[in-house]
Structure 1
Amino acid sequence: EINLYMYLYFVIFIIFGAFFTLNLFIGVIIDNFNQQKKKI
């Protein structure tokens, strides 16, 4: 019973972590793209 909750928590944590990292990465790319457009 306890193992199931630990596993569920771990899976949710991994999904949130992956989403947050992806969001951060995309944000940096968009920011760089906008800065490059301003230079031109």
Structure 2
Amino acid sequence: MLLTIPQVLTPEQVAHCRDRLATAAWADGRATAGYQSG
């Protein structure tokens, strides 16, 4: 479940986070899901 909490971050802070996440190195979730992945 996702909850929206308004006015915690400014639009500029959200944009910064989104930019960082867009260029981040991501691992396949199956590698970290343990027994649930198979």
TM-score range relative to shorter protein: 0.3 to 0.5
Structure whose CA Rg is larger: 1
What TM-score results when the alignment is normalised by the length of structure 1? Answer: 0.38
What TM-score results when the alignment is normalised by the length of structure 2? Answer: 0.39
Structure number with higher helix proportion: 1
